[in-house]
Amino acid sequence: MTTAKEAVTYGNWRRPQSPGVAGLGLLGTGILLVGMLAVIVLLAVSVVAAVVGVAVLAIVLAPLVYRDRHGRNGVQKLTARLAWSAGGPRGWRTYRSGPLGRSPTWRFGLPGLAAAMTTTDALDAWNRPFVLLHHRATAHVSTVIETAPDGNALVDQDTVDQWVAHWGAWLTSLGQETGLVAASVTVETAPDLGTRLEREVESHLDARAPALAQKVMREIVQTYPAGSASISCRIALTWSRYGAFGGPKRSLREMAIEVGNRLPGLTAPLAAAGAGAAEPMTSASLAAAVRLAYDPSVHALVEELGAGGANIDWADAGPAAHEEAADHLWHDGATSVTWAMSQAPRGVVYSSVLAKLLAPHPDITRKRVSLLYRPHDSARAAELVEKDRRDALFNASGGRRRVVSARSSHSVQAAEQAAQEEARGAGLVRFGMLVTATVMGEADASRLRQVEAVVDSLATSSRVVLRRAWGSQSAAFLAALPLGLVLPAHLRVPTGLREAM
């Protein structure tokens, strides 16, 4: 007698929390304690002064107490709105490049955070060419790997579970890579023009084959692409030029040698994770992918010539123009909207939780789903899980070591489980998600609402909560591309202060 195998579930991810009283966080709690001491001192002087002090303290703490459905407090929302308002008069929302633009090089370079990014082509230990991206502002370098995922159609669940296990092991191994600061996986869907299939069939079609066989193959080329979509998957890996143990900043030549030596060990395990063949991208193929993201109208040309044959220079991979609005981005005749994940799926999930969000949709011309990872090394991971465990206990008990709600109890249990799993050798990775939907033409309000409704429906089916990147569409669009950008490294607010809120 055989019994059905229990389905494998996943979950137990947690959002980092800051310890504090009444949900204020460490910064708010510090302000509260200092304010209470000041009120006590004022009370000895005058009751009126003490009342004024209480009112001032309440006004200061009110933005920190307020939280919206995405977990953002009033200070974060206010500073974002002020930054967006200040950018308009300074011309930060408009970009023009090329001979008639404002670019000093008269080329079609990338805007914003990627404006100073440069590329270098090198060879890895297996003599494969790869691109090395240099982020000058953050002293980071990145490389991009293109994969051909097998997909889960007609695949046994046992095989899928093995893929997930190998993918988790690969993410854990990233924490052991010296100097690696971030990784991202970008899955992009677009209409399939059938050019690659036609080129593949024509190159392998034998003129001596029976006429019927040739006719069938040519009919397949004509009919198969109708209504189908092409799916590409790219993995970007980012290292710091300073390494994990400090020291002087390494040169680009040294980084190219180091990254080239590590690439074979990073690409080989991806096949066991269901990623299929994994090959490093060159600067030409990456430039073509970025050019397609900004100008989808050149899709047919790039498909016909191939990514390398399109011969797009990195200096011309950007848009000729784009206009940033608070809720969308117009670029080279297309309109894009980007969302950020504010809450991961709650509870336990299955391996297919993101299937609908990753799948193509007929109402969206191009869709990108980017998973952003920041792995921690084993020493840092042990420190973080123990800190998170203590913070969860403090927040749950309100400082009295007494669990007061079911949600607080679950938070403590999740923190305990994470600490135990890390002690058994599991890795610790911070992750996020960006979703970009692109439609052709300048979208009006009704079209934008349609796109928003589609993405919200896909997000709901995948049990994730998405928040539109209000006032930062240009930066979010760039971060969703496989360029290895690490957004927290570009923020002016120190990391410690952000986490304390």
Which sequence spans correspond to the domains of the chain? Answer: 66-192+227-500
Q: Is the model's pLDDT at 404 over the cut of 60?
A: no
Bridge pairing between strands 129-135 and 140-147: antiparallel
* The pLDDT of residue 12: 78
Residue 85 CA, distance from chain mean position = 26
Q: How far is CA 311 from CA 109, 206, 282, 306, 320, in A?
A: 15, 30, 11, 9, 17
Q: Report how far residue 22's alpha carbon sits from residue 59's, in angstroms, rounded to the nearest whole number.
A: 16
* The pLDDT of residue 381: 72
Average confidence (pLDDT) over 269-294 = 92
Most confident of 36-40, 56-60, 259-263, 486-490: 259-263
Locate the DSSP E strands across 210-282: 229-240, 278-280
Q: What is the pTM of this model?
A: 0.87
Q: Is the model's pLDDT at 265 over the cut of 90?
A: yes
* The pLDDT of residue 377: 77
Residues 6+ apart with CB under 8 A from 157: 7, 351
Q: Is the model's pLDDT at 495 over the cut of 80?
A: no
What does the DSSP 8-state code read for residue 365? S
Q: Is the model's pLDDT at 403 over the cut of 60?
A: no
Q: What percent of the chain has pLDDT over 90?
A: 40
Helix ranges (H only) for 270-405 are 283-294, 299-305, 355-358, 378-397
Extract the tokens encoding 117. Answer: 């990014």
Extract the tokens encoding 218. Answer: 């040519």
* The pLDDT of residue 481: 96
Lowest mean pLDDT among 78-92, 168-182, 388-402, 449-463: 388-402
Phi, psi (5° rounding) for residue 134? -110, 120
Nearest of 351, 379, 130, 95 to residue 259 by alpha carbon: 130
Average confidence (pLDDT) over 478-497 = 87
* The pLDDT of residue 266: 95
Nearest of 444, 355, 293 to residue 452 by alpha carbon: 444
Which is higher by pLDDT, 307 or 132? 132
CA angle (188, 370, 338) in 5-degree steps? 90
Answer positive or negative: Cα dihedral of 89, 94, 98, 103: positive
Burial bucket for residue 500 (CB in 10 Å: 0-12, 13-18, 19+): middle
8 A C-beta contact, residue 383 and residue 47? no
Average confidence (pLDDT) over 263-288 = 93
Q: Is the model's pLDDT at 4 over the cut of 60?
A: no
CA angle (194, 196, 199) in 5-degree steps? 110
Q: How many CA atoms lie within 13 A of 305 on its CB side?
A: 13
**Residue 65 — pLDDT band, cuts 50, 70, 90?**
confident
* The pLDDT of residue 254: 93
Q: Report how far residue 366's alpha carbon sits from residue 100's, in angstroms, rounded to the nearest whole number.
A: 28
Q: How many CA atoms lie within 13 A of 414 on its CB side?
A: 21
**Residue 200 — pLDDT band, cuts 50, 70, 90?**
low
pLDDT digits (tens, 9 = 90+) for 363-380: 898 999 999 999 987 777
For the CA atoms of 150, 151, 154, 160, the dihedral, rounded to the nearest 10 degrees, stands at 90
8 A C-beta contact, residue 175 and residue 427? yes
* The pLDDT of residue 196: 65
Residue by residue, what is the 3-state secondary structure of 70-138? CCCEHHHHHHHHHHHHHHCCCCCCEEECCCCCCCCCCCCCCCHHHCCCEEEEEECCCCCEEEEEEECCC
Burial bucket for residue 328 (CB in 10 Å: 0-12, 13-18, 19+): buried
8 A C-beta contact, residue 312 and residue 284? yes
Which is higher by pLDDT, 143 or 413? 143
* The pLDDT of residue 224: 66
* The pLDDT of residue 5: 64
Helix ranges (H only) for 4-73 are 25-45, 47-65
Extract the tokens encoding 435. Answer: 């979703």
User: Residue 229 CB: number of other CB atoms within 10 A?
Assistant: 15
Which is higher by pLDDT, 388 or 1? 388
**Residue 401 — pLDDT band, cuts 50, 70, 90?**
very low
Q: Report how far residue 460's alpha carbon sits from residue 477's, in angstroms, rounded to the nearest whole number.
A: 22
Average confidence (pLDDT) over 409-424 = 71
pLDDT digits (tens, 9 = 90+) for 74-131: 888 888 888 888 887 888 889 999 888 877 778 899 998 999 999 999 999 999 999 9
* The pLDDT of residue 449: 92
Average confidence (pLDDT) over 391-418 = 63
* The pLDDT of residue 145: 97
pLDDT digits (tens, 9 = 90+) for 213-246: 877 877 776 776 555 678 899 999 999 998 666 6
